[in-house]
Structures are given as C-alpha cells and as structure tokens.
Chains A and B, each alone.
Chain A
Amino acid sequence: MDTPTQTVLCIEDDRFIGEMYVRALNQAGYKVDWVLSGNDGLAAAKSKPYDYILLDLMLPEKKGNDVINELRGEKNLIPDTKVLILTNFDEDDASRNALQEKVEAYLIKADITPRKLLEIIKEL
C-alpha cells in the first residue's frame, strides 16, 4: 500500500545547509518546500499543512523563536505538524527550555548529518 508523500517545510537561511537537507530529504522521498526567511516560513506554514517543519532560529526578518511563538502561541495553528528546531546557536537554558516545550525536537545542526536527520524524523 502506498503511503502519501510526506511534506516538509525547511526554513533555513544558509544556502549550503538548506540545499544539503533538501537534497537528502528529496532522495528519501519527502516533498520539500524551502524558504530562506522567518516571514516566508511563517506564511508558508500558515498556507498549508506540512507533516514536518525544520526551523532554524537565527533567521533574517523574523527569528525562529518568533515564528514558533506565532504558530504555537495561545492557539496551536499547526496541530498535525511536527516541528524540529535545527540551530547552531546556543540558547540560554530558560529560552531553550521554553522552546523545547513547543516543538517535537531541538537539534544542534553541527551535531548531526543529513542521514541522522532522516533517522530522527522517522523516529518522531
């Protein structure tokens, strides 16, 4: 039985890293939309339901923290989506804990490879 293609929104401003994830996800059979800024990411996330969102924190225009706060603030606008924060920035504990409450995974990009990312997505 065919399972429908899963969709991923990748919000990542580093082109090298973005391309790397998009390529690995495409090869693994996911359909990926890739945007480069927080505002575009927010608009995309609101426009259609994704299975997964990969969210960077240090983004131009609107930071990842603000994106997630708008998507999962008082009202959860994306209840069926799994959000993975992928960052290289070391948040202080309080902000990090607050963020972790709102997302399904919080990962340091430098600690993982695209292959590991795929494993983690499958485990979620």
Chain B
Amino acid sequence: MAIKSSVKSQQLQLIGLFLLIQIVIGAILYLVTALATQHMSNNDALLVVALSFIGLESIGAFIVATVAARPMQKVADALLYAYSDMPIDKNSTVVELIRRLHAEKNPEKTVSAEFEFAHALLDNLPLGIVVLNQKREIIYTNKAAPTHGGGKELNINFSESDSLNLWLDDVVGKNISASKWWKRMRQVNIESEESRQFFDLLALYHQDGVESIETVLVSVDRTEEYSTDEDDLDFTALAAHELRGPITVIKGYLDVLRQELILTDDQLAFFERLDVSADRLTTYINNILNVSRYDRRHLQVRLKEETLSKIYGSVGDDLELRARTHHRMLNVTFPEDLPTVAADRGSLSEVIVNLVDNAIKYSSEGGLVVISARAEENFVEVSVQDNGIGIPGALLSHIFDKFYRSHRSRENTVGTGLGLYITKAIVESHGGTISVRSDEGHGTVFSFTIPTYASVADKLANSDNSNESIIEKKEKKYIKNHSMYRG
C-alpha cells in the first residue's frame, strides 16, 4: 500500500537526519574541546564541553522532532480536507493519499482532479447544463444552468401539457435514447420583469447512462433575441389600449344617445350600424391582441364551470344587432339539459363572435344563421350554420390559416384574416376541436367542441383552473399546437 511505503520512507529520512545532526554535533564538540583545553583549566574545559553537548543535543532533538511531526500536521490537514471543503495544499502527497483512501471507501464521493477540471470547464461554458438521474433528481448543475431552490429545481416555466416530465413519461422505457427541443422557454422565478431570461432547451435522454446520468439538459440563453418580441408584444398591448379608448367613448355615448333621443326608424338603424361597427372594431382589436399573444405563446385561458347560454348571453345582444343591421336572422337553440362546460367565458365568447360574424358576412341577404348545441359524451358541440356562399373544397384546408381570407371576402367583405386562426387556437386551448363542412353555393357549418365541466373537474381542481391539464388528457392527435401556452 502506498501509505505504508510512504511511512517507511519517512522513517529512513528521519534516521538519516538524526545521523547527520549527530555528525555535525560531534564535529562542533571536537572543535569546542580543542579550543577549551587550549585556553582553560581542565575543569572549566570539561564544564564548557558538557554544556555545549547538552545545548547542541537539545537543538538537534528539536530539529528531528519538528521534521518528524510534519507528516502528522499533513495528515491532520488531509483529514480536514477529506471531510470538509477547506482549501488546503491539494498537491501534498499525503493529501493525495488520504484522498485516494477516502475515495476507495466512498466511491460515490470521489473528487478527482479530472472532475475538478471538468467542473471548472462546465462552469465557464455559456450554456446551462443540468443532469438528472433515473429518479429525475437534479444531480449536477453548472453555473449557467437555469435552476432555483438551491439548484434543486429547474427555473423553467414548462406548460403542463408539454413539460419535461411528460416527455420523460413518454420516452422512458420505450426508447433507449431520445432528444427534444423546447423553444422560447421563460424563467418561472424572476426578481423583476426586466431580469426575465428566455431559453431554448435541449433534453437528451439515454437509458441507464453512466454514473447514473440519465437525462442531460442543455439550455441556451436567448434573452436578447426573444425579449425583442416581448417589446413588440408590449407595443401591441399599448396600441390596443390607445385604440380601445376612443371605441369605449364611441360605444358608450352611442348607447347613451340612443336611450335619450327620440329617433325615427331610419335614424335608429343608423345608430345600430354605428354600434355594430364599433363592436367589430373591438373584435378586430381583440383578435389582433390574441394572435399576438398566441404567436408568442402567451395565450392562456382560465377555465371555469360555465353554461353555454351564459357565454352566449355575454355577446348575444351584440350579435343580434349585427345580424339585424345586415338583414340576417339569428336562430339560437341550446337544449335546456345541456351539461356545463369548462370554459374561459371571455375567450369562448370571442370564438362565438368570430364564427357568427363570419356566418353573417358570408350568408345572403335575408339569410338565416343557426346556432345550435348538443352534448356528445364528454363534450358539448356547438355549431354555427349559414346558408351563404359556401367555401370551395380546395380552399377548406386553408380556412384556419393565419391571414387567410376566403375567395369572395377579398372583394366585398372587410376582415383581417385572423378570426378563424385565433378561433381555432382558442378552441384547442380549451381542449376541444374545430371543424368545417361546406357546400359551395349552399352554406357552411362550423362546429367546435368543448369538454364538459364534469369530465375535467378533477383535473381543474388540481391545476389552478389552467387549461393545461385538460390538454394533457386529450388524445395527442387533436392537439396540433398544444405547446402554445406561456413557455
């Protein structure tokens, strides 16, 4: 054993030192004796030699003792080093010996020089590295890693429908190795909005990896790039605020005037057109805002138990007015025993507004728009049917695309081409689906489904009413863009 040979060499060194000191003392005593016998009486000379002998031997003993005790000091240092994090002379042989000894007995706590080099290297990387073991516990993080809670938790705001855990649930046991990117992820815990960082995150999974490294996460700080988008979003929100102010005033005073003035039928119709136009403006602004949030993964709905009639009721008057001013009729029939749904009233009413407004726009003068609903297993299906111009089959697949506007709409109907795009996004964010059937020249039916409250109540109770747990429950094939929520 290395430590034994080290002790032996220490013994030999001490014996050598002792002999050397004895020789030096012998030589000095010889000189002292020679000088003393020349200049003193025999008695005095004997006394001087004896005293010199005692003095020199004492000094020699002190030197030998000091040298002999030095390894003890080193052993003490080494023990302190092995059992604490005190910075001590790590190059000392004894320290190295103790370290090896310690490592043999505690293999999982080995601190090798190679590890320290690797650690320093990783800490200097501009990439975050997080290592998880089989139990998905964090066993290593470098300096740039997005963690909090003393490095025990990832500081990344995953959506519950697209989280690291869900992905691992999916791949563990089925794949030997797998990888996945998450883009535009935000931190959960931040000191202030200005300090918020954005990351792209790569997860690499390898079954039974060495040293219990099962999953490695690599994060790339993309704050600079993504925060520009955030500024755009702030701009959109501010612009919307400025636009909504005058609309509030126009709508409000129209409402006041309509109640206080005695109007002829014509004048009343003009007032209603003004009302409808102001409402449309509001819808466009809401759509623009929602698209802007959706595209930046900010769209989030808060699901609560709602009845469809209440949701419709919040926009029914406005829609009735829109239909009337365009000489269309609305026929709304919801069965009385329709189950309650899990919905965000504001967002879902925007879905209804967009679909009914489209039906009004693209149906013929005097046409009928039928809004109906029915329960189907764990969903409520809502349909909006018109008897209008219809949509050619070839175009149906593009109908939900961003900025897509139907073949006729470009000529004579206003719109942004955002309505159906955001409608689909909102429906899907509720965990539902949307579909369209159309017969050119005869009319179109848009149908969307929303989960019943009963089917998701448990999930909601456990997740603070966010939509994410519901989406997770749904079959994956429905969710085309389920990672859109706040990252």
B180 CB within 8 Å of chain A: no
Select from chain A the residue with minimum beta-carbon distance to B302.
Answer: A97
Q: Is the CB of B252 within 8 A of A20?
A: yes
Determine how close the nearest CB of chain A comes to the CB of B378; give it in whole angstroms.
Answer: 26
A109 CB within 8 Å of chain B: yes
Q: Is the CB of B289 within 8 A of A90?
A: yes
Select from chain B the residue with minimum beta-carbon distance to A115.
Answer: B255
Known: A93-B300, A113-B252. A17 touches B240 (CB 8 A): no
Contact of B240 among A90, A97, A115 (CB under 8 A): A90
A124 CB within 8 Å of chain B: no
Known: A88-B248, A110-B247. A20 touches B253 (CB 8 A): yes
A108 CB within 8 Å of chain B: yes
Known: A88-B241, A93-B300. A111 touches B252 (CB 8 A): no
Residues of A within 8 A of B255 (CB): 113-115
Residues of B within 8 A of A36 (CB): none
Bound-complex Cα distance A89 to B236 (A):
10
Secondary structure type dominating chain A contacts: helix
Known: A24-B256, A88-B245. A110 touches B237 (CB 8 A): no
Residues of B within 8 A of A23 (CB): 256
Q: How large is the interface on A (under 10, 10 to 19, 20 to 34, 35 or more residues)?
A: 20 to 34
Q: Is the CB of A114 within 8 A of B252?
A: yes
Q: Is the CB of A17 within 8 A of B248?
A: yes
Q: Is the CB of A93 within 8 A of B298?
A: yes
B207 CB within 8 Å of chain A: no
Residues of B within 8 A of A14 (CB): 245, 248-249
A2 CB within 8 Å of chain B: no
Which residue among A20, A88, A90, A109 has the maximum number of chain B CB atoms within 10 Å of its CB?
Answer: A90
Bound-complex Cα distance A89 to B234 (A):
10
Bound-complex Cα distance A17 to B241 (A):
14
Bound-complex Cα distance A58 to B245 (A):
11
Residues of B within 8 A of A91 (CB): 237
Question: How does the 8 Å CB contact mask read for A80-100 relative to B, with 1 for contact and 0 for none?
Answer: 000000001111111001000
Q: Is the CB of B240 within 8 A of A88?
A: yes
Residues of B within 8 A of A97 (CB): 302
B102 CB within 8 Å of chain A: no
Question: How does the 8 Å CB contact mask read for A18-53 relative to B, with 1 for contact and 0 for none?
Answer: 001101100000000000000000000000000000
Secondary structure type dominating chain B contacts: helix
Residues of A within 8 A of B253 (CB): 16, 20
Bound-complex Cα distance A111 to B247 (A):
9
B222 CB within 8 Å of chain A: no
Bound-complex Cα distance A4 to B146 (A):
57
Residues of B within 8 A of A114 (CB): 252, 255-256
Q: Is the CB of B298 within 8 A of A89?
A: no
Q: How large is the interface on B (under 10, 10 to 19, 20 to 34, 35 or more residues)?
A: 20 to 34
Residues of B within 8 A of A93 (CB): 298, 300, 486
Bound-complex Cα distance A104 to B289 (A):
24
Q: Is the CB of A110 within 8 A of B248?
A: yes
B285 CB within 8 Å of chain A: yes
Q: Is the CB of B302 within 8 A of A88?
A: no
Q: Is the CB of B256 within 8 A of A90?
A: no
Which residue among A20, A92, A111 has the maximum number of chain B CB atoms within 10 Å of its CB?
Answer: A111
List B residues 283-315 near A (Cβ within 8 Å): 285, 289, 298, 300, 302
Known: A110-B244, A110-B282. A89 touches B251 (CB 8 A): no
Q: Is the CB of A109 within 8 A of B256?
A: no
Q: Is the CB of B237 within 8 A of A17?
A: no
Select from chain B the residue with minimum beta-carbon distance to A95.
Answer: B193
Residues of A within 8 A of B249 (CB): 14, 16-17, 20
Residues of A within 8 A of B251 (CB): 110, 113
Determine how close the nearest CB of chain A comes to the CB of B263; give it in whole angstroms.
Answer: 16
Bound-complex Cα distance A97 to B344 (A):
13
Bound-complex Cα distance A91 to B293 (A):
11
Residues of B within 8 A of A21 (CB): 252
Bound-complex Cα distance A58 to B247 (A):
16
Contact of A88 among B244, B256, B298 (CB under 8 A): B244
Known: A20-B256, A24-B256, A114-B255. A109 touches B240 (CB 8 A): no
Which residue among A91, A110, A114 has the maximum number of chain B CB atoms within 10 Å of its CB?
Answer: A110
Contact of A58 among B241, B289, B486 (CB under 8 A): B241
Residues of A within 8 A of B237 (CB): 89-92
Select from chain B the residue with minimum beta-carbon distance to A110.
Answer: B244
Contact of B252 among A17, A89, A92, A94 (CB under 8 A): A17
Question: Using a CB–CB distance below 8 Å, which chain B residues touch chain A?
Answer: 237-238, 240-241, 244-245, 247-249, 251-256, 259, 282, 285, 289, 298, 300, 302, 486
Question: Using a CB–CB distance below 8 Å, which chain A residues touch chain B?
Answer: 14, 16-17, 20-21, 23-24, 58, 88-94, 97, 108-111, 113-115
| Residue contacts A-B, CB under 8 angstroms, 24 given | A14-B245, A17-B245, A17-B248, A21-B252, A24-B256, A88-B240, A88-B244, A88-B248, A89-B237, A90-B241, A92-B298, A93-B298, A97-B302, A109-B248, A110-B244, A110-B248, A110-B251, A110-B285, A113-B252, A113-B254, A113-B255, A114-B252, A114-B255, A115-B255
Leading 8 A-B pairs by shortest Cβ distance:
A88-B244, A110-B244, A113-B255, A109-B248, A89-B241, A93-B300, A90-B237, A20-B252
Q: A20-B249, A89-B240 are in contact. List 13 more A-B contacts (CB 8 A).
A: A16-B253, A17-B248, A17-B249, A23-B256, A88-B241, A90-B240, A93-B298, A94-B486, A97-B302, A109-B244, A113-B251, A113-B252, A114-B256
